[in-house]
Structures are given as structure tokens and as C-alpha cells.
Amino acid sequence: MRNERMITIGATINETLREEMERDASIVLIGEDIATIGGRGGVTAGLRKTFGKDRVIQTPLVEELLLGIAIGVAQSGLRPVVEFGHANFLMLAWSDVYKMGIWRRLSANKISLPIVVRMKFGAYWKYGAELTGPFISSLQSVLGIKIVVPSRPADAKGLLRQALRTDRPVLFLEHAKLYGNIGPVSDDRHFSPLDEAVIRRSGTDLSIISYGYLLAEAEKAARTLAAEGVSVEVIDLVSLKPLDQKTLIESAQKTKKIIVFDEETQGGGLFPFIFTIIKRSVPDARVESVGSRPVPLPFGPAENFILPQSDDLMKALRTMLSG
């Protein structure tokens, strides 16, 4: 029987980086503030002391340089793990994001780019639009990359371990509100697939598709409706690119009612991609979105008027069920 411990997502990522760096000397960390303050969420704390400055390399706050450095390092035979302070700043390195994705294909897979890009993302921490604006939909057009988002510690461990052993670029998104979330993690060194969604709760009446921080709200809504006799399926996307089409379609075929619960702009974000996937295979399914209002996020508590809340989700669920 596997032993399990309770641990936070932030501590899990730190532990996994440490384990994999001990296993594979080619893994190097490159990023902003990763040595002095342990990176965002304290995730890289103590790693510089353990592995030294040649494997934990702190860079200036110049996002335009980070991926260019990583691409060169990866082609030299190393496996770089790059940390961006905030995911929105990835746009400053857009040309290298594009190159990172296509070079492997253009070389007929002769060029290996084992790059993991770790980034804090997401809203609900009152820091305004510059650090928490929508960006995930922009990445859907980039070929050759994978994007994953853990919602609990066990997923963080399995996804990161798999990403660190993959020979193509992986964007590993860490929601700012989840670093301190605690959950069970087994002692076995398991792997999680980088292209599969997870059904967190099975249901037959309606499906909620979500990921990251909002997943807990989706599960809460499902429990509320279960007490009223409504069976709600909750799907954690986990993989934002590629989207797990099989799981999405099968859920739509079963419930015929789907709500995409996403903190990006209402009707935007991943919704158009999910809508297209489902409607092509299940044309009679209803697919709707609950997201942010289409204005830049303000600083402070005013963001609550823009971001989707649990009440917004419940209202949408009840409206769909009554329709």
C-alpha cells in the first residue's frame, strides 16, 4: 500500500525539482529571483545552496532573454527549467515561444528541445490587469508545445516529473492562488500524462469544464446540486494544449449540457476551442461559458466585479438545467 503525505503544491514542485535534479545532472534552473528569494511562491528555495550557481542560474528581469538562453542551453545537451516571474510577461518573448515550438518539427525531430517553462499565472489575488490578464488562448496557435496546469499537489508532482523527462517544450502553469493548497501525495515516483483531462466527479445531467483555481468552485457547485438530486460531472482540463478531445466529447455525449468555467474573458479563453470540439461531434449539445467581464482587471477588491464568482456559476447552472 502506498504511503501518502499531506503537502502543498509549492512544496511539491520544490521537492520534485530537487528529486529530478539529483537524478539527472543535465537539468538546470534558469530564471528571475530563483536564487535570492526562491522564485515565485518560494518554489526554488534552497536549490541554489544544494546544487550551486552553475545549475541554479539567476537572471536579470529581462524576459526577452530567457527563452533565447533556454533554447541555446537545450541544444547544448542540457535540460533547462525556465521560470518566468509572471506568465503574462511570456508575451515579451513571443518570437522565441514560436521558435521553441516549431524548430523541433522543422528539423524532422532531429533537434531536441527539452525545455520546461514554469510560470505563475491567474487572477483572484488583486494585482491588476498587467500581471493577471488573459493570455492562454494566444498560445493555442503555437505548434509543438504542451501546456499543463496542476490543480492539486499529486498532479503537480506527476506532471512536472513527466515534463522534465519530455523532449519537447512544456509550459507548466502554476496558479498564484494554489501554491499553499494542501493535498495528499504518495511516496511513489509516479508520472501524469501531459495530454489528458481528469474527471474529478462523474455525472449524467450536466458537465462543468474548468481548471486551476476555479476547479474547486466547480466541485463545490457540483456538491450543492448533488444535494438537490442533480448529477453534475466535473472535468479538470489539466492539459490546456493539447485539449483532451476524447474526454470532452464523451462527457458531452452523456450530459448534452456543458458549462466552461474559466477566469479568462467570457466567451473567450479556451471556450471557442472547446465549443468547436464538442459541437463538431455532438451538435445537439448546449455549450456555454462563465468567465470574466470584457474589461481590464482593476487592482484590489474591485476585481470581484469583473472575475467570475461562484454565484455566477450557480446561476448559469440553474438556468441551463431549467432550459
Kindly report the length of the chain.
323
Reply yes or no on whether the pLDDT at 134 is more than 70: no
Work out how many domains the chain is built from and give that number: 2
190 versus 206: which is more confidently predicted? Answer: 206
Pairing of β 232-236 and β 198-201: antiparallel
136 versus 320: which is more confidently predicted? Answer: 320
pTM higher than 0.85:
yes
Q: Kindly state the cell numbers that stand for 16.
A: 520534485
- Picking from 186, 208, 224, the residue at the C-terminal end of a domain is 186
pLDDT tens digits for range 66-101: 888 899 999 889 999 999 888 888 888 888 888 888
Q: Are residues 222 and 73 in the same domain?
A: no
- Picking from 132, 157, 186, the residue at the C-terminal end of a domain is 186
Q: What is the mean pLDDT of residues 114-123?
A: 91
CB 28 within 8 A of CB 58: no
Q: What is the mean pLDDT of residues 296-307?
A: 84
Residue 19 lies in a domain: yes
Residue 191 lies in a domain: no
CATH classification at residue 254:
3.40.50.920
Q: Are residues 207 and 182 in the same domain?
A: no
CA 176 to chain centre: 11
Q: Give me the domain span that covers residue 131.
A: 4-186
Q: Are residues 180 and 274 in the same domain?
A: no
Residue 264 lies in a domain: yes
Q: Are residues 110 and 48 in the same domain?
A: yes
* Lowest pLDDT segment from 76-90, 115-129, 171-185: 115-129
Which residues make Cβ contacts (< 8 Å) with residue 138, sequence separation at least 6?
Answer: 91
Amino acid 261 reads F
- Picking from 159, 186, 213, the residue at the C-terminal end of a domain is 186
Q: Kindly state the cell numbers that stand for 253.
A: 455525449
Q: What is the pLDDT of residue 2?
A: 67
Q: Are residues 84 and 233 in the same domain?
A: no
Q: Are residues 164 and 135 in the same domain?
A: yes
The separation between the first and the last C-alpha atoms of the chain, rounded to the nearest angstrom, is: 47
Q: Are residues 232 and 176 in the same domain?
A: no
d(CA 50, CA 21): 10
CB 7 within 8 A of CB 182: yes
pLDDT tens digits for range 211-227: 999 999 999 999 999 99
Residue 167 lies in a domain: yes
Residue 173 lies in a domain: yes
Reply yes or no on whether the pLDDT at 159 is more than 90: yes
Q: Are residues 241 and 302 in the same domain?
A: yes
pLDDT tens digits for range 236-279: 999 999 999 999 999 999 999 999 999 998 888 899 999 999 99
**CB crowding 10-36: b at 16 or more within 10 Å, else e:** bbbbbbbbeebbeeeeebbbbbbebbe
Give the model's confidence band at 129: pLDDT under 50 very low, under 70 low, under 90 confident, else very high: low
CATH classification at residue 128:
3.40.50.970
Q: What is the pLDDT of residue 139?
A: 85
65 versus 235: which is more confidently predicted? Answer: 235
Residue 193 lies in a domain: no
Classify 158 as helix, strand or coil. Answer: helix
Reply yes or no on whether the pLDDT at 1 is more than 50: no
CB 173 within 8 A of CB 13: no
132 versus 175: which is more confidently predicted? Answer: 175
Averaged pLDDT score across all residues of the chain: 91
Residue 149 lies in a domain: yes
Residue 192 lies in a domain: no
Q: What is the pLDDT of residue 189?
A: 75
